[in-house]
């Protein structure tokens, strides 16, 4: 019996449509759910064959293949990737990274340098002037801080491009047959979003249906591929 394909998926709500679709491949895959930084480490260390990894991971891979027509992306605001602060961004002197993130921390660095044109100190202390936070932990919290900077919205303001947060990436050659089956399963999960949304937890001041149907864009189209290339170039200089 052939070995199962080892796959890691991000453990956030925006990836749950993918998880639903991949259930139909249970006989072909060994699926794990991880925070984004762990998903990245698993792919880098060859512990998985395919991962829904933060796109910053691509900078750490000598060889990789994007194996899917789908991603975690946004055009403008994404409503789950923020810099939170109690003072305007231009007045901050220190910022704390999100330990679950790679791409969003890097995006924050790109925006701080090229968009806001400031150079705060990156610190690990809780008393930082601002902090990056991503994923489900941000749901409904945009109004709990004096300033909430949606990083995807500011990327769009700077570049007029969408943003790709995570893509399905392999560290080895994957057969065309499996890639086709894999993409069909992902599409099936996306098509079942209306049913999934009914089952998900609700959060105060957060519209889950709007988040999964409008804020998150799942198609890895040409504009997102262009945006990804631009981001990786920006990232090399921060």
Distance between CA atoms of residues 18 and 205, nearest Å? 25
Beta-carbon contacts of residue 100 (< 8 Å; ≥ 6 apart): 35, 36, 37, 134, 135
Over 70: is that where the pLDDT of 88 sits?
Answer: yes
**How many residues would you count in the chain?**
238
pLDDT tens digits for range 146-191:
999 999 999 999 999 999 999 999 999 999 999 999 999 999 999 9
Distance between CA atoms of residues 238 and 138, nearest Å? 25
pLDDT tens digits for range 162-173:
999 999 999 999
* Measured CA distances, 138 to 148, 150, 205 (Å): 10, 11, 11
pLDDT tens digits for range 98-142:
999 999 999 999 999 999 999 999 999 999 999 999 999 999 999
Between the two ends of the chain, the Cα-to-Cα distance in Å is 47
Selection from 210, 211, 173, 218 nearest residue 18 by Cα: 218
Which of helix, strand or coil describes residue 124? coil
Place of tokens 């399963």: 185
Structure tokens at 201: 């937890």
pLDDT tens digits for range 28-83:
999 999 999 999 999 999 999 999 999 999 999 999 999 999 999 999 999 999 99
Structure tokens at 69: 């027509």
Rounded percentage of the chain residues whose pLDDT exceeds 90: 97
Q: 28-34: long-range contacts (C-beta < 8 A, 24 or more apart)?
A: 28/4, 28/178, 28/181, 29/4, 29/5, 30/4, 30/5, 30/6, 31/7, 32/6, 32/7, 32/8, 33/8, 33/9, 34/8, 34/9, 34/10
Domains defined along the chain, listed by start: 5-71+164-208 (3.40.190.10)
pLDDT band at 2 (very low <50, low <70, confident <90, very high): low
Distance between CA atoms of residues 171 and 43, nearest Å? 7
Over 50: is that where the pLDDT of 233 sits?
Answer: yes
46 phi and psi, to 5 degrees? 60, 30
Structure tokens at 48: 């998985």
């Amino acid at each position: 019996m052939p070995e199962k394909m080892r796959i890691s998926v991000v453990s956030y709500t925006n990836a749950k449509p993918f998880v639903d679709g991949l259930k139909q491949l249970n006989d072909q895959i060994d699926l794990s759910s991880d925070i984004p930084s762990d998903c990245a480490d698993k792919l880098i260390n060859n512990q998985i064959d395919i991962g829904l990894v933060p796109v910053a991971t691509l900078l750490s891979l000598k060889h990789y293949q994007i194996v899917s027509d789908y991603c975690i992306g946004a055009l403008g605001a994404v409503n789950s990737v923020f810099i939170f602060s109690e003072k305007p961004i231009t007045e901050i002197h220190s910022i704390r990274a999100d330990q679950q993130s790679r791409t969003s921390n890097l995006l924050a660095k790109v925006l701080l340098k090229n968009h806001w044109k400031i150079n705060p100190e990156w610190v690990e202390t809780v008393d930082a002037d601002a902090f990056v936070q991503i994923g489900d932990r941000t749901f409904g919290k945009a109004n709990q801080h004096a300033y909430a900077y949606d990083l995807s919205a500011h990327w769009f303001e700077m570049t007029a491009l969408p943003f790709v947060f995570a893509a399905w990436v392999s560290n080895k050659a994957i057969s065309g047959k499996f890639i086709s089956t894999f993409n069909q399963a992902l599409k099936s999960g996306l098509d079942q979003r209306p049913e999934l949304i009914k089952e998900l937890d609700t959060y105060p001041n957060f519209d889950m249906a709007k988040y999964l149907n409008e804020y998150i864009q799942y198609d890895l189209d040409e504009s997102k591929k262009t945006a990804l290339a631009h981001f990786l170039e920006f990232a090399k200089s921060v």
